[in-house]
Amino acid sequence: MASVKEVPCLEVRHVRKSFWSSNRQVDVLKGIEMSVAAGQLTMLRGRSGSGKTTLLNLMGGLDRPSEGEVIFRDRPFHQWSDKRLTVVRRREIGFIFQSFALLPLLTALENVELSLRMAGIPRAEWKERAAKCLDLVGLTKRANHRPFELSGGEQQRVAIAKGIAHKPFLLLADEPTAELDTNMAARMIGVFREIVEKEGIAICMTTHDSTLWGAADVVYQMVDGRIVSE
C-alpha cells in the first residue's frame, strides 16, 4: 500500500499557458510537467517572470491552461465550471497571496474565521480553530487587531493562518515569507513542515529565498516558463 507521501494530490500534465499582447502571442508556460504529493512540501524557485505565479494560479483553479491538464485529487480540475471550481477552492484548497487578501474592517481573528465560514465549517468551531492557527504563527496577542494596525510581516502571518485554517488538502502559497525576517521565515517554514507531517496536507510554495530550499521535500526550478530541474 502506498504511503501518504507517495499519493499525488495534484498533477500538472503537459500544461501550456499563452496570452495575447499587442497582437502577438506570449507563451508564459511551455509544457509543464510536475506533481504535488500529499504530506510533502514542494517549492517552486526561479526569477521573477519565470512563470511561477501563473503556474500557481492554474494549480488553484484561478485560471485555465491553454493546453494540457490539471488533475486535483484524481479529478480534471481544468474542465470544471466556474461554480464548481469556486466551491472546491473554498473547501479543499488554501491560498496565501502576496497581497495578503485581508479585509481591512475585520480583526486578525475575524479574517481567519472568514475562511472557515466560506469553507462551510460549523460556526461553533470557528473561534477555537482560528485562535489555534494564529497561535501557530505567533500572533495570539495581535488577534484583535485590524490589518492597518499590523506590520507587513504580521499581515503575512495572518494570511498564512487564514490559508491553513480550514485544513485544506492543498495549500498554495505565493512568496509566503517575502515580508518576514530570517528568523520568522524559518519559523513559518517550520509551521509548514508541521502541517504536512501531522495533517498530510500538500503544500506548494514559490520562493526566492535559497536558505529555505533545504526544508522542502521537492524543489522545482523554473526558467522562462519551463521546469528545468527537480
Instruction: For residue 8, give the C-alpha cell.
Output: 499525488
pLDDT for res 199: 82
Please give the tally of structural domains in the chain.
1
The whole-number average pLDDT for the span 102-107 is 96
Q: What is the CATH number of the domain that holds 36?
A: 3.40.50.300
Q: How far apart are the first and last CA of the chain?
A: 25
Beta strands in the chain (DSSP E): 8-21, 24-37, 41-45, 67-72, 75-76, 93-96, 170-174, 202-206, 218-223, 226-229
SS3 177: coil
> Is 81 part of any domain?
yes
The whole-number average pLDDT for the span 221-229 is 94
Cα–Cα distance, 59 to 74 (Å, whole number): 13
> Is 124 part of any domain?
no
Using CB atoms within 10 A of its CB, is residue 138 exposed (0-12), middle (13-18) or buried (19+)? middle
φ, ψ for residue 97, nearest 5 deg: -95, 155
DSSP state at residue 28? E
Per-residue pLDDT tens digits for 21-71: 888 999 999 999 999 999 999 999 998 889 999 999 999 999 999 999 999
Binning pLDDT at 50, 70 and 90, where does residue 4 land?
very low
Binning pLDDT at 50, 70 and 90, where does residue 3 land?
very low
User: pTM score > 0.85 for this model?
Assistant: yes
Domain limits for position 223: 4-19+28-102+169-229
